[in-house]
């Protein structure tokens, strides 16, 4: 299959919509299964089971975020090489990022597995909730290397502009999970552990799908060479380390929220757990935005097309605004159904309704932060993404949820998060705009110098 820089041509809005929609379908399918998990477990009539998955999800979000960070590196490095026309370099980077991800994820599992119960206890899980969450995580965390391989493979295909096959990786994983969930939870009577086993098997199905697309369709993996790996390790790490810190900041914020929510009781924890499942399903199109904008920016940056980079940013904002308005209105209308289908208690229902009515609209501003993160990760300033996201996860979360919860109770936790998203979304987007302008001015200056007689005489 020819490897052309297809994202340097055609409508940027069409590319943003296509890349976001396919990414959203894959993500939403994966998170929809988590939502179904929560629904099935709520049918068991044991609120500790729902709370346990909520606590466990805070930890799993860390591991998935690490996998996404390495995938970001694959997308950034491969898309830039494709934009420059260096196909062999793109293949070399693809295989070396994959090797990096396998080594790293194996190390994380080795460290995390024996400490699961201590981490859960630290963030507020106790009693039977702690036991259920520990059993769930001890099974599910074993699939982290498989998630890493699947995410990297999807990132490579996105770098090539093949959004459809990149979507299949998470889509198939989600479908496998959806089929196996009721079998293991109800037919085998395994409850929470059954949900974990179904998810583990689904993660390994992601490996098969991504391998087929990257190796058999695109033939994008070069031969692994240890010396080449060491050469690329620095370039990979320059993106991966800040991207990991960036992605870890979101689950850090979730852990902070979950820990503070636990002081309001299991009803509040169960409500936040349900909301945490609803958010990725409803706003998957916004969460996919960063991954969609990244390859478009990367290819056009490699090709020197700053006009298309500006157009891509504008298209992304337009897409995010329309998407958010439509989905927030839909969520507002569906709040009663959510309360009913999850058998929410009175305390949980109040929080779910508050989120659907007042908090959901803040996700447009969070999408501005996603766009800014894509700019910095793919254009050589990943540390800026780290600072922005950690700022939102710390000073944009903890002080605000503490202050607002003093006056508003558990609802203040959700409201404080929303205020933080507005502040850091606007600030991050402004910084990203200025950074692209700086890159454009720098390149224009270099072009001017290269055409000056004095420069040519020196050369």
- Assess if residue 243 is contained within a domain: yes
Domain that holds residue 143: 6-443
The whole-number pLDDT of residue 2 equals: 47
For every residue of 19-74, DSSP letters joined together read HHHHHHHHHHHHHHHHHHHHHHHHTTT-HHHHHHHHHHHHHHHHHHHHHHHHHHHH
Give alpha helix (H) positions in 43-162.
47-84, 87-112, 116-122, 127-140, 144-159
- Assess if residue 458 is contained within a domain: no
| Number of domains, the chain | 1
- Assess if residue 126 is contained within a domain: yes
CA distances to 271, 281, 355 from 327, rounded to whole Å, are: 20, 10, 13
Kindly state the tokens that stand for 11.
């409508």
- Assess if residue 459 is contained within a domain: no
Q: Spell 104-123 as b/e; 16+ CB within 10 A means b.
A: bbeebeeebeeebbebbeeb
Exposure of 378 by Cβ count < 10 A (0-12 exposed, 13-18 middle, 19+ buried)?
buried
User: What pTM was computed for the model?
Assistant: 0.74
Cα–Cα dist 447/208, whole Å: 46
CA distances to 244, 379, 434, 449 from 439, rounded to whole Å, are: 24, 9, 9, 15
pLDDT digit of tens for each residue in the chain (459 aa)? 445 677 888 888 988 888 888 877 766 676 666 667 777 777 776 777 777 877 887 787 778 778 888 988 898 889 888 888 888 888 999 999 999 999 999 999 999 999 999 989 887 888 888 898 899 899 989 999 998 999 899 889 988 888 888 888 888 888 888 888 889 988 888 888 888 898 899 889 989 999 899 998 888 888 889 899 998 888 888 888 887 777 677 767 877 888 888 888 888 888 888 888 788 778 878 888 877 888 889 888 888 889 999 999 999 999 999 999 999 999 999 999 988 888 778 888 899 999 999 999 999 999 999 999 889 988 888 889 888 988 888 888 889 999 999 999 889 999 999 999 999 999 999 999 999 999 988 887 776 766 656 555 544
- Assess if residue 361 is contained within a domain: yes
Kindly state the tokens that stand for 397.
């979360």
- Assess if residue 453 is contained within a domain: no
The whole-number pLDDT of residue 3 equals: 57
- Assess if residue 454 is contained within a domain: no
Q: How far is CA 152 from the centre of its chain?
A: 13
CA distances to 39, 320, 434, 437 from 293, rounded to whole Å, are: 33, 12, 17, 17
């Amino acid at each position: 299959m020819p490897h052309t820089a297809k994202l340097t041509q055609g409508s940027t809005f069409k590319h943003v919509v296509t890349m976001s929609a396919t990414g959203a379908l894959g993500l939403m399918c994966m998170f929809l299964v988590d939502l179904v998990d929560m629904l099935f477990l709520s049918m068991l009539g044991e609120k500790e089971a729902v709370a346990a998955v909520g606590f466990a999800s805070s930890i799993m979000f860390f591991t998935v975020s690490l996998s996404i960070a390495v995938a970001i590196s694959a997308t950034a490095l491969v898309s830039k090489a494709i934009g420059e026309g260096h196909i062999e370099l793109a293949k070399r980077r693809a295989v070396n990022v994959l090797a990096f991800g396998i080594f790293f994820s194996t190390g994380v599992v080795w460290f995390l597995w024996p400490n699961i119960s201590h981490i859960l206890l630290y963030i507020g899980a106790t009693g039977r909730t702690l036991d259920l969450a520990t059993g769930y995580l001890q099974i599910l965390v074993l699939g982290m290397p498989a998630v890493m391989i699947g995410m990297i493979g999807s990132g490579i295909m996105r770098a090539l502009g093949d959004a459809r096959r990149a979507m299949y990786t998470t889509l198939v994983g989600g479908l496998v999970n959806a089929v196996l969930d009721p079998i293991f939870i109800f037919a085998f009577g395994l409850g929470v552990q059954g949900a974990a086993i179904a998810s583990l098997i689904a993660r390994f199905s992601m490996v098969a799908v991504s391998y087929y697309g990257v190796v058999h369709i695109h033939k994008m993996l070069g031969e692994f060479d240890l010396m080449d790996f060491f050469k690329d390790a620095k370039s990979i790490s320059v993106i991966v380390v800040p991207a990991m810190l960036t992605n870890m900041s979101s689950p850090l914020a979730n852990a902070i929220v979950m820990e503070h929510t636990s002081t309001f009781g299991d009803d509040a924890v169960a409500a936040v757990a349900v909301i945490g499942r609803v958010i990725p399903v409803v706003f998957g199109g916004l969460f996919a935005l960063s991954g969609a904008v990244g390859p478009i920016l990367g290819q056009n940056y490699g090709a020197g097309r700053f006009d298309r980079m500006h157009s891509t940013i504008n298209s992304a904002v337009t897409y995010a605004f329309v998407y958010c308005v439509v989905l927030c209105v839909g969520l507002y209308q569906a709040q009663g159904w959510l309360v009913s289908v999850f058998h929410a208690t009175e305390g949980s229902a109040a929080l779910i309704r508050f989120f659907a009515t007042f908090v959901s609209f803040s996700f447009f501003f969070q999408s501005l932060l996603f766009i800014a993160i894509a700019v910095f990760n793919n254009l050589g300033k990943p540390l800026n993404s780290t600072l922005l996201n950690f700022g939102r996860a710390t000073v944009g979360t903890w002080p605000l949820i503490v202050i607002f919860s003093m006056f508003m109770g558990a609802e203040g936790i959700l409201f404080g998060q929303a205020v933080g998203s507005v502040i850091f979304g606007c600030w991050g987007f402004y910084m990203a705009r200025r950074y692209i302008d700086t890159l454009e001015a720098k390149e224009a200056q270099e072009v001017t110098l290269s055409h000056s007689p004095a420069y040519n005489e020196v050369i």
